[in-house]
Amino acid sequence: MSRFVLPVLPLVAAATALPASAATGDITEMLLIGRSAGQCAAVVAGGTTPGTPVTQWTCWGTAGQVFDARAAGGGYTIVDRNGKLCLAVKGGPKTTGAAVTVETCAGTKDQVWAPIGRGGDDVSLKNAASGLCLAVGATGRQDGDPLVQMPCEASATQTFVTAPRKGTSSWSGILPTPMPAVASTVLPNGKVLLWSARNRFKFGYGEIGRTYTAVFDPVTGKAGERVVSNTNHEMFCPGIATLADGRVLVNGGSSSFATSLYDPKTNAWSKGAAMNVPRGYQADTVLGSGDVFTLGGSWSGDLGHRMGEVWNATSGWRLLPKVDGDDFAGNDPGGIFRADNHMWLFGWGTKDVFHAGPAAAMHWIDTTGDGAVKSAGKRGADPYSINGSVVMYDAYRLLKAGGAPGYESGDGTTAAYTIDFSGGPTKPVRVTRQKPMLFPRAFSNAVVLPSGEVVVIGGRFSASTSSDANAIMVPELWSPATKTFTRLEAMYVPRHYHSSAVLLTDGRIFVGGGGVCGTCVNHPDAQILTPPYLFAADGGPAVRPVVTKSQTAAVRGATLKVTTDRAVAKFALVRMGASTHTINNDQRRVPLTIAAKSGTSYTLTVPADPGLMVGGNWLLFALDAKGVPSVGKVVRIR
């Protein structure tokens, strides 16, 4: 799963050597992604006529955006797979700003581009005839900005990364939903509960007391709508938690004090205890005790000082006066209204919470008594990254990807880090920078697969809540083995602000929503992504192992007995979480140890740690030696 980069050929003296790469020779089916705006080199309108200009455009991986790089003349010719024409500065003029076009491939110097290393996998491309570099002209940030040649410099407009096709992935068609899936969660029956606001496409402030919801069936592609009013709660922009007893807790949002509970056993909503502090855009996480911690949320109620609270099934909400949301807020240009939103919170043990961001400073929170806070250091060199995405891909190990310096301002980042907080409050948190994503993203979603890989989906190049412009259409797959990102097939509909994504029981990913913010284009639809691990090497469907028998419940620290239809290599549990506004704090994957084996019957060890094995519904997956997963079996951990 390594990303292939253009190897720098030693015959070109001007080229700077890149780090060693597994790639040698020609590179096929690649996108050429500009670092200035995360857009792709594109032959205008997919044209096949010599002389057609090349611009940058939103990456779709469609005709005119897919190229082959072929070693030639001390560099590479870059050939458009659609028109079989070569990227060129026709005639090799040394004129600054001369247009880049596609021309009939002739092997001339004006069609040869030599990579210059810019760090990591980034390169500039120097034209062998002119000695000038490929650059994005005009603003360098918009669809249609031309590709030109300019004097070589280490600028974003002259920096590119190659993204060859690796493996197979695919999307379903566009599946209508009654409203945009602003929030979603997978139910034990495999269906997806989703909801929007007081109206299908419009939210409001104040206590109107209703929410449009639906249950989507990924098998039939159909969804049944329901308006929930019995809890007197507009559940727009709330906190969400999936409880130890299988219910879904929704708190705050437009109805800023309210709490609602959904029971998948009865398909019923009920009213929960009111919070002590009004809040919206806050985040929740379930503790090892089964209680729920919430923090932040100045979008609703007064600005600032959104103290932490803990929900208990018996006693309701308890305020933590010594846990002030302002102390966890980032330096957002929008002030505290935005700075204490969408925090990354993960339970540890029965009572502690690890705060990973989006602020650069991380913390430990003790939820007993009045609460207590202590520093966990900074997230490496990573600054405030609001609307980034974080997921637990392994036991107490997080992948953080993307984010922006302002909720509604600034550009998304490609920065990715792993965060290891397995040592708990008494040990240092280990933060490790990863190779960057291919695309800058704000408002993306991240979903962990049973393999431990993470899919990062959607987002925008620039942080804005009101437009589909600059949407990132190509998902990426991060591998914990190679620590790199590779591209997947582009989706059909932009998914960014007010979208959600969750892992389905069959190992595919539901992605939906977007809109519901006044001037937004609404997207009342969904698509389902089939990841590469469900395809064979020839591009056909992979043969999947089958879990033929499994316990439906397991106790922490005990064993779990499973039988499969063939030999498998690994098992993993993935907790069924809930997604909204880039956050899915309850989502986590835990690999299981095989304690004993007899034929195709396995005894698995369930970790005893209640902070890791948070009670509730998990999906048990068996994976074969090639990493192909079974369909997940629902197991209640308690």
- Has residue 91 got a pLDDT over 80? yes
Number of Cβ within a 10 Å radius of residue 405: 19
pLDDT tops 50 at residue 253 = yes
**Mean pLDDT in the chain?**
94
Taking residues 215-244, report their average pLDDT. Answer: 96
Which amino acid belongs to residue 331?
A: N
Query: Residue type for 25, please?
Result: G
CB-based contacts of 551, cutoff 8 Å, min separation 6: 560, 561, 562, 635
**Calpha distance 468→9 (Å, rounded):** 40
Return the closest-CA partner of residue 84 out of 61, 56, 52. Answer: 52
Could you read off the pLDDT of 396-441 as tens digits, one per residue?
Answer: 999 999 999 999 999 999 999 999 999 999 999 999 999 999 999 9
The pLDDT value recorded for residue 2 is: 32
- Range with the poorest average pLDDT among 20-29, 226-235, 241-250, 530-539: 20-29
Residues in Cβ contact with 315 at an 8 Å cutoff, skipping those fewer than 6 apart: none
Tokens representing 219? 């098998």
Percent of the chain at pLDDT above 90?
91
Average pLDDT of the residues in 2-30 = 45
Question: Which one, of 231, 228, 227, 226, lies nearest residue 216 by Cα?
Answer: 226
Residue 68 in tokens: 């082959």
* pLDDT at 274 exceeding the cut of 60: yes
- Position 395 scores a pLDDT of 97
Q: Which CATH number fits domain 185-447: 3.30.565.10, 3.40.50.300, 2.130.10.80, 2.40.30.30?
A: 2.130.10.80
Res 22 pLDDT > 90: no
Kindly report whether the global pTM for this prediction surpasses the value 0.85.
Answer: yes
Are 551 and 560 spatial neighbours (Cβ–Cβ below 8 Å)? yes
Query: Sign (positive/negative) of CA torsion 407, 411, 412, 414?
Result: negative
Q: In the block, which residue shows the tokens 């299988």?
A: 246
Query: What gap in Å lies between CA 459 and CA 475, rounded to an integer?
Result: 9
With a cut of 70, say whether residue 222 has pLDDT above it: yes
**C-alpha dihedral sign at 610, 614, 617, 622:** negative
The reported pLDDT for the residue numbered 100 is 98
* Per-residue confidence (pLDDT) for residue 466, from 0 to 100: 81
Active site residues: 497
pLDDT at 25: 67
Mean pLDDT of 254-268: 96
Q: Name the percent of the chain lying above pLDDT 70.
A: 96
Max mean pLDDT range (172-186, 197-211, 462-476) = 172-186
Instruction: Enumerate the domain spans of the chain.
Output: 27-164, 185-447, 547-637
Q: What is the pLDDT of residues 465-517, one digit of tens each?
A: 888 999 999 999 999 999 999 999 999 999 999 999 999 999 999 999 999 98
pLDDT, tens digit (0-9, with 9 covering 90-100), for 347-395: 999 999 999 999 999 999 999 999 999 999 999 999 999 999 999 999 9
Is it true that domain 27-164 has CATH number 3.40.50.1820?
A: no
Residue 93 tokens, joined? 């003029």
Residues 339, 38, 437, 411: what is their CA dihedral angle, to the nearest 10 degrees? -10
Q: Please state, as a whole number, how many other Cβ atoms lie within 10 Å of the Cβ of residue 83.
A: 18
CATH top-level class for 547-637?
mainly beta
Give 296-335 as a DSSP string: --BTSSSSS---EEEEETTTEEEEETT--GGGG----TTT
Question: What are the percentages of helix, strand and coil residues in the chain, rounded to 5?
Answer: 5, 40, 55
358: preceding bond cis by omega (within 30 degrees): yes
- Rg of the chain taking only CA atoms, in angstroms: 25
Asked if 310 and 367 touch (Cβ cutoff 8 Å), the reply is yes
What six digits make up the tokens of 402? 């993307």
Cα separation, 262 vs 133, whole angstroms = 58
Q: Which amino acid is at 60?
A: W
Compute the distance between CA of residue 262 and CA of residue 248 in angstroms, rounded to an integer. 5
What pLDDT is stored for residue 205 in this prediction?
76
Per-residue tokens: 488:
């997947």
Q: What are the Cα distances from residue 563, in Å, to 161, 359, 504, 569, 634?
A: 45, 45, 22, 13, 14
59 burial class (0-12, 13-18, 19+ CB within 10 angstroms)?
buried
Phi, psi (rounded to 5 degrees) for 326: -60, -30
Beta bridge partners of 547: 564
Contact criterion met (CB below 8 Å) for 300 and 252: yes
pLDDT digits (tens, 9 = 90+) for 292-312: 999 999 999 889 999 999 999
d(CA 277, CA 381): 33
- The owner of tokens 């940030």 is 141
Q: What is the pLDDT of residue 15?
A: 30
CB count in 10 Å sphere of residue 51: 13
Angle (CA) 494-134-142 rounded to 5° is 30
Nearest to 131 by CA among 106, 163, 153, 155: 153
